[in-house]
Structure 1
Amino acid sequence: MTRKATYQDLIEYCKTDWQQYIEHDFVKKLADGSLSMACFKHYLQQDYLFLKHYARAYALAVYKSPTLDLMRKSLPGVTSLVLEEISLHIDYCKDWGLNEADLEALDEDVATVAYTRYVLDKGMQGELADLYAALVPCAIGYAHIGQNLSKIQTINNPYQSWIDIYAGEDYQKVAQQQADFLDQLISEVSIDSQRFNQLADAFKTATRMEIAFWQQGLNQQ
């Protein structure tokens, strides 16, 4: 009997890229506190722009949902991003000397444009599962990174507060909910099917986009 897919199978499909994502040099420098302030500030600025498009993608997920139950599953992603997460990001940026006006005036860097438009395009062209396959690598990957970095003890790390956010129970819970929902969406997909390969390619491409997003921050050094 053919086994049905889970999000873990999507990670396994792009295992090399996944490791490069969650163990990127940007992440390693966050862990030991050696990342330059210029790199981190650029990342924070571009992440603000990313989050705005991320909210649009969740709004698209509501539109793409064929049932009310599925709409209810995607709606919290929109509301939490627009009403909470982006506001928290703005407050966090203030600690690094970046105010909301500065963030709004930014130009999108190349990797930011590529990543966000890919996710939105995948959602427009495909079904809800295609959109989530492109959305979820962000949430799951950051959860893995948060867990990994929380185990590393670095004295006076200026980025400890960032690590604490993604290692925290609240974020871990949200990431797991996203993973579980993707599992629900692909629960009837066989791992040896063409449909699985389509979803896995979307997941892999989004993972590669995450690598590029880290790299554009690191390039600021």
Structure 2
Amino acid sequence: MNHRDLIAGCQQDWDHYIQHNFVKQLGQGTLDKASFQHYLQQDYLYLIHYARAFGLAVFKSANPAQMRASMPSLSALVEHELTLHIDYCKDWGLSEEDLVALPEGVATVAYTRYLIDAGLQGDLTDLYAALIPCALGYAEVGQYLTQPGNAVQAGNPYANWIDMYAGEEYQQAAYASVEFFDQLLAEIPADSERARQLQGHFTTATRMEIAFWQQGLDRSL
């Protein structure tokens, strides 16, 4: 089996994730600024736990080759992406103090703790089944927003956000993680109990992503 089997196993949820109203409004430049700021604040808190999850992936690895597969994501998150996120948020009127002052929203808590729990209770494949919907989903969101009619560039305050996730650097990094995940899945029969367990992780994480978009849209905690 591979990641496409898991997407097919929750296709309706996956489509809702990729084409959520948050994404559509962002693409058209009509998303409320306060909603985007709320999303950015919660995303910063999410990224801290996301980095921890990749640290757990290194711990759960059976050999150095598997460790090396997760290290680029861990290093990028800790050494670069968190700092870049802080700098990006400054452009939206949010200081680093603002980012840490906002409490974690319910969707943020539920999602991040689920990621860690999936890894603690399961093995590396369980953890990646919960991690991949974020990396792959944002890559597909970037692709969706570059299709004709799905986004406007001129005068869109979110154009640089779209460019970031549609860009070659992010796309390559996301699909490198997906390729490793597919290696972990390769020997698992699609109709097995193990496949159903992994589908559960993948589907739940996808639903968490939907809730995360909605949290931003509603500006809820």
Identity %: 59
TM-fit CA distance, 1:115: 0.2
Deviations 1:80-116 (A, max 9, x none): 1000111111111010011112212221000000000
Distance in 1 (CA, whole Å) between partners of 2:102 and 2:183 is 37
Do the aligned partners of 2:39 and 2:216 also contact (CA within 8 Å) in 1?
Answer: yes
* Residue number in structure 2 paired with 1:86: 82
Which structure 2 residues correspond to residues 27-106 of structure 1 after superposition, within 5 A? 27-106=23-102
Do the aligned partners of 2:24 and 2:151 also contact (CA within 8 Å) in 1?
Answer: no
Please give the secondary structure, in 2, of the residue aligned with 1:192. Answer: coil
AA aligned to 1:132 is Y
Distance in 2 (CA, whole Å) between partners of 1:129 and 1:52 is 21
Distance in 2 (CA, whole Å) between partners of 1:101 and 1:153 is 32
In the superposition, the TM-score normalised over structure 1's length comes to 0.96
Distance in 2 (CA, whole Å) between partners of 1:153 and 1:86 is 26
Distance in 1 (CA, whole Å) between partners of 2:30 and 2:158 is 9
Matching of residue 108 in structure 1 with residue 104 in structure 2: yes
Please give the secondary structure, in 1, of the residue aligned with 2:186. Answer: coil
Matching of residue 211 in structure 1 with residue 210 in structure 2: yes
Distance in 2 (CA, whole Å) between partners of 1:153 and 1:124 is 39
AA aligned to 1:173 is Q
Residues 156 and 131 of structure 1, relative CA distance in 2, 3 Å threshold: same
Do the aligned partners of 2:115 and 2:130 also contact (CA within 8 Å) in 1?
Answer: yes
Match of 1:25 among 21, 28, 40: 21
Distance in 2 (CA, whole Å) between partners of 1:153 and 1:175 is 22
Which stretches in structure 2 are left out of the alignment for 5+ residues? Answer: none
Please give the secondary structure, in 2, of the residue aligned with 1:150. Answer: coil
AA aligned to 2:164 is I
Please give the secondary structure, in 2, of the residue aligned with 1:191. Answer: coil
Distance in 1 (CA, whole Å) between partners of 2:75 and 2:151 is 35
